Amino acid sequence: MPQLDEDIIASAALTVLDARGIDGFTMRAVAKVLGVTPMALYHHVSDKESLVALVIDAAIREEPLPPTTGIWQDDLFAMADWVRRAARAHPAIARLRRTYDVWTPAALQMTERSLALWKQSGLDTERAVVAATTSSMAIVGLVSEEQSFRRIKPPEAGLVTSLPNARLLFTSRHNTDDEFELIVRAIIDGLYTRLSAAAEVPAIESPKPRQAASARSTKVENASER
Q: What is the DSSP letter of 201?
A: S
Task: Please state, in angstroms and as integers, the Cα–Cα distance from residue 178 to each residue in 61, 88, 173, following that order.
Answer: 26, 16, 12
pLDDT, one tens digit per residue, over 26-46 is 999 999 999 999 898 988 998
Residue ranges of domains in the chain = 1-62, 65-200
What is the signed CA dihedral for 8, 9, 10, 12, rounded to 10 degrees?
90
Q: Which of 57, 42, 48, 8 is nearest to 26 (CA)?
A: 48
Short-list 49, 50, 56, 55, CA closest to 33: 55
pLDDT at 201 exceeding the cut of 80: no
Q: Specify burial of residue 51 (Cβ count, 10 A radius: 0-12, 13-18, 19+).
A: buried
Q: Is the pLDDT of residue 19 over 70?
A: yes
Looking at residue 84, what is its pLDDT? 95
Neighbours of 185 (CB within 10 A): 15
Residue 51 pLDDT: 94
Backbone Cα Rg of the chain: 27
Examine the pLDDT at 177 and tell me if it is beyond 60.
yes
Q: What is the pLDDT of residue 192?
A: 96
Name the architecture of domain 1-62: Orthogonal Bundle (1.10)
- The CATH topology of domain 65-200 is Tetracycline Repressor; domain 2 (1.10.357)
Confidence at residue 209, expressed as pLDDT on a 0 to 100 scale? 47
Q: What is the pLDDT of residues 34-93, one digit of tens each?
A: 999 989 898 899 899 999 999 999 999 888 888 999 999 999 999 999 999 999 999 999
Residue 128 confidence (pLDDT): 97
- The C-alpha angle with vertex 193 and arms to 192 and 195, in degrees rounded to 5, equals 65
